């Protein structure tokens, strides 16, 4: 570890010494890594350091620019936004840019009791994530996403022209701009996590409490976009058919309990329920252009897409 990185971590944590532990994760496309750092002195036994390294050359300048911006957004998020215990995130202890490298020094969620990861979830664990999202969306309902992505999520149409061009489905390609407009013109907007897949939730031992990480694509938009992405990340098509209605009911019950009482919740719920099929179809559109053989391209997604295309024809 470079001396300037070591000094930043020690100062931020009030520690006297540190030891770099295991690499937890390599960042997408080789843009760095996440490591656990063990500390001596101070009030923390460990922290998590997200170390971003921007490559000098990129084969795809548009993709590279989007990734650079995503880390700038994530840094701004941790520096300027906070949540509460109902939608827990890691505390940010320090951030700094060193030329073509960035460091984020974050609370170790494992040490805070969120040391479990899930590759599949039971009903209670699934609802714990939906509860987190409901409280998150309620907390930021009507908040302008200053310094974040104006439109959150990594797949929205404006940032994905290459994937649109690569699509074979001519009818959906022709409808893509209208679907995007409908989603972006929602009356009720919040801040969305933007990458709310199962892998970005850290669970407590009992599985009933979660915290979320990875805020590279946090920004404005309709909250239901997080919901469709989360549900699609942990359920196959048959499960979607059977479980989505009840899980949506649960999400809206939690959302109702946590939004400001002055909000016209009936109107909000009606709008976001209507947007469910549009949001799911929008992500389906991205997948068709990005990875046509992806497992999430299934009969459930195709059914919702047909429903949306029929709505647009009417």
130 & 95 share domain: no
**Parent domain of 103:** 3-107
Question: Residue 42: its pLDDT value, please?
Answer: 87
Distance CA 161, CA 157 (A): 7
Residue 118 lies in a domain: no
Residue 270 lies in a domain: yes
pTM metric for this prediction? 0.96
20 & 166 share domain: no
Residue 113 lies in a domain: no
284 & 203 share domain: yes
Structural domain count, the chain: 2
Question: Residue 170: its pLDDT value, please?
Answer: 96
Question: Residue 35: its pLDDT value, please?
Answer: 97
Output phi, psi for 115, to 5 deg: -100, 10
103 & 129 share domain: no
Q: Is 29 left (phi over 0), alpha (psi -120 to 50) or beta?
A: left
101 & 197 share domain: no
Distance CA 85, CA 81 (A): 14
CATH of the domain at 98: 3.30.200.20
Query: pLDDT tens track of the chain, all 314 residues?
Result: 899 999 999 999 999 999 999 999 999 888 999 999 999 998 999 999 999 999 876 778 888 999 999 999 999 999 999 999 999 999 999 999 999 999 999 999 999 999 999 999 999 999 999 999 999 999 999 999 999 999 999 999 999 999 999 999 999 999 999 999 999 999 999 999 999 999 999 999 999 999 999 999 999 999 999 999 999 999 999 999 999 999 999 999 999 999 999 999 999 999 999 999 999 999 999 999 999 999 999 999 999 999 999 999 98
For tokens 């995007």, the residue is 180
Residue 162 lies in a domain: yes
CA separation (Å) from 240 to 81, 146, 161, 284, 286? 33, 34, 29, 14, 19
95 & 191 share domain: no
Question: Residue 30: its pLDDT value, please?
Answer: 86
Domain finish residue from 55, 83, 107: 107
Q: Which are the contacts of 18, defined by CB distance < 8 A and separation ≥ 6?
A: 1, 6, 9, 10, 37, 38, 39, 40
Output phi, psi for 61, to 5 deg: -60, -35
Distance CA 286, CA 48 (A): 32
103 & 252 share domain: no
Output phi, psi for 118, to 5 deg: -130, 135
Nearest partner of 168 among 303, 288, 278, 284, judged by Cα: 288
Distance CA 41, CA 59 (A): 44
Q: Provide the β-strand partners of residue 81.
A: none
């Amino acid at each position: 570890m470079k001396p300037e990185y070591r000094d930043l971590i020690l100062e931020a944590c009030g520690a006297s010494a540190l030891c770099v532990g295991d690499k937890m994760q390599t960042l997408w496309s080789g843009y760095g890594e996440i490591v656990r750092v063990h500390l001596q002195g101070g009030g923390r036994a460990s922290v998590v350091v997200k170390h971003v390294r921007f490559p000098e050359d990129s084969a795809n300048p548009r993709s590279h620019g989007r990734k650079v911006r995503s880390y700038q957004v994530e840094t701004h998020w941790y520096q300027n936004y906070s949540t509460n215990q109902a939608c827990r995130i890691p505390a940010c202890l320090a951030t700094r840019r060193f030329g073509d490298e960035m460091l984020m020094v974050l609370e170790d969620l494992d040490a805070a009791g969120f040391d479990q990861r899930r590759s599949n979830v039971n009903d209670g664990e699934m609802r714990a994530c939906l509860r987190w999202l409901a409280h998150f969306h309620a907390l930021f309902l009507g908040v302008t996403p200053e310094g974040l992505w104006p439109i959150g999520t990594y797949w929205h149409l404006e940032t994905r022209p290459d994937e649109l061009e690569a699509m074979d489905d001519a009818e959906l390609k022709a409808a893509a701009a209208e679907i995007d407009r409908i989603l972006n013109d929602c009356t009720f907007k919040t801040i969305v996590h933007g990458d709310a897949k199962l892998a970005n939730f850290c669970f407590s031992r009992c599985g009933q409490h979660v915290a979320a990480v990875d805020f590279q694509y946090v920004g404005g938009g309709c909250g239901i976009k997080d919901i469709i992405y989360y549900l699609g990340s942990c359920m196959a098509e048959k499960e979607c058919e059977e479980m989505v209605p009840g899980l949506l009911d649960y999400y809206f019950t939690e959302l109702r309990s946590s939004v400001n009482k002055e909000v016209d919740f009936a109107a909000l719920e009606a709008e976001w329920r209507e947007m469910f099929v549009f949001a799911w179809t929008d992500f389906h559109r991205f997948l068709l252009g990005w990875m046509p053989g992806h497992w999430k391209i299934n009969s459930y997604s195709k059914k919702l897409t047909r429903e949306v295309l029929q709505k647009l024809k009417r």
